[in-house]
Amino acid sequence: MNAIERYFGINGTNTTIKTEIMAGITTFLTMAYIIFVNPTILADAGMDQGAVFVATCLAAAIGCFIMGLYARLPVALAPGMGLNAFFTYGVVLGMGYSWQTALGAVFLSGCIFLSLSLFNIRKWVINAIPNSLKQGIVAGIGAFLAFIALKSAGIIVAQDSTFVTLGDLKDFSPIMAAIGFFVIIGLVHKNVPGAVTIGILLVTVVSIIAGYTPFSGVVSLPPSVAPTFMQLDIAGALDVGMISVIFAFLFVDLFDTSGTLIAVTKKAGITNPDGSIPNLNKALLADSSATVVGTVLGTSSTTSFVESTAGVAAGGRTGLVAVTVGLLFLLSLFFAPLAGMIPAYATAGAIFYVSVLMLFTLKDIDWEDLTEAAPVAVVLLMTPLTYSIADGISLGFITYTAVKLLTGKFEQITPAIWILSIILLAKIIFM
Q: Which pLDDT band, with edges at 50, 70 and 90, does 274 fall under? A: low
Q: Which pLDDT band, with edges at 50, 70 and 90, does 57 fall under? A: very high
Tell me what the mean pLDDT of segment 206-218 comes to: 90
Cα–Cα distance measured from residue 429 to residue 431, given in angstroms and rounded to the nearest whole number: 6
Is residue 315 pLDDT above 90, yes or no?
no
Cα–Cα distance measured from residue 191 to residue 122, given in angstroms and rounded to the nearest whole number: 35
By residue count, the chain amounts to 431
Is residue 239 pLDDT above 90, yes or no?
no
Residue 302 backbone phi and psi in degrees, to 5? -95, 130
Is residue 284 pLDDT above 80, yes or no?
yes
Q: Which pLDDT band, with edges at 50, 70 and 90, does 41 fall under? A: very high
Cα–Cα distance measured from residue 280 to residue 262, given in angstroms and rounded to the nearest whole number: 10
Any idea where the domains of the chain sit in the sequence?
A: 2-362
Task: Encode burial over 191-218: b for 16+ CB neighbours within 10 A, e otherwise.
Answer: eebbbbbbbbbbbbebbeeeeebeeeee
What is residue 203's predicted lDDT score, i.e. its pLDDT? 94
Cα–Cα distance measured from residue 354 to residue 83, given in angstroms and rounded to the nearest whole number: 13
Cα–Cα distance measured from residue 33 to residue 199, given in angstroms and rounded to the nearest whole number: 9
Is residue 126 pLDDT above 70, yes or no?
no
Tell me what the mean pLDDT of segment 274-302 comes to: 88
What is residue 123's predicted lDDT score, i.e. its pLDDT? 65
Cα–Cα distance measured from residue 392 to residue 386, given in angstroms and rounded to the nearest whole number: 7
- Largest distance between two CA atoms of the chain: 69
Identity at 218, one-letter amino acid code: V
| Interaxial angle between packed helices 172-189 and 131-153, expressed in degrees from 0 to 180 and rounded to the nearest 10 | 140
What is residue 127's predicted lDDT score, i.e. its pLDDT? 66
Contacts with 16 (C-beta within 8 Å, 6 or more apart), sequence order: 10
DSSP run (H or E) holding 302 = strand 302-304
DSSP run (H or E) holding 303 = strand 302-304
Tell me which range, 291-300, 303-312, 413-422, is most confidently predicted by mean pLDDT.
291-300
Is residue 271 pLDDT above 80, yes or no?
no
Helix or strand or coil: residue 322? Answer: helix
Q: Which pLDDT band, with edges at 50, 70 and 90, does 334 fall under? A: very high
Q: Which pLDDT band, with edges at 50, 70 and 90, does 187 fall under? A: very high
Query: Smallest Cα–Cα separation from 303: which of 122, 120, 156, 83?
Result: 83
What is residue 280's predicted lDDT score, i.e. its pLDDT? 82
DSSP state of 318: S
Q: Model's pTM, two decimal places?
A: 0.85
What is residue 204's predicted lDDT score, i.e. its pLDDT? 92
Cα–Cα distance measured from residue 120 to residue 227, given in angstroms and rounded to the nearest whole number: 36
Tell me what the mean pLDDT of segment 311-334 comes to: 92
Cα–Cα distance measured from residue 75 to residue 266, given in angstroms and rounded to the nearest whole number: 12
Query: Smallest Cα–Cα separation from 83: which of 385, 389, 394, 391?
Result: 389
Q: What is the DSSP string of 192-259?
A: -TTHHHHHHHHHHHHHHHTTSS----S--PPPP-TTTTT---HHHHTSGGGHHHHHHHHHHHHHHHHH
Q: What is the DSSP string of 40-65?
A: HHHHTTT--HHHHHHHHHHHHHHHHH
What is residue 431's predicted lDDT score, i.e. its pLDDT? 62
Least confident stretch, 236-250, 260-274, 319-333: 260-274
- Tell me how crowded residue 113 is: count the other CB atoms within 10 A of its CB: 27
Q: Which pLDDT band, with edges at 50, 70 and 90, does 169 fall under? A: very high
Residues 198-211 have pLDDT tens digits of 999 999 999 999 99
CB 210 within 8 A of CB 172: yes
What is residue 340's predicted lDDT score, i.e. its pLDDT? 84
Is residue 419 pLDDT above 90, yes or no?
no
What is residue 78's predicted lDDT score, i.e. its pLDDT? 95
Query: Smallest Cα–Cα separation from 135: which of 243, 300, 259, 261?
Result: 259
Residues 352-398 have pLDDT tens digits of 988 888 888 888 899 999 999 999 999 999 989 988 888 888 899 89
Helix or strand or coil: residue 167? Answer: coil
Surface-to-core class of residue 142, CB atoms within 10 Å of its CB (0-12 exposed, 13-18 middle, 19+ buried): buried
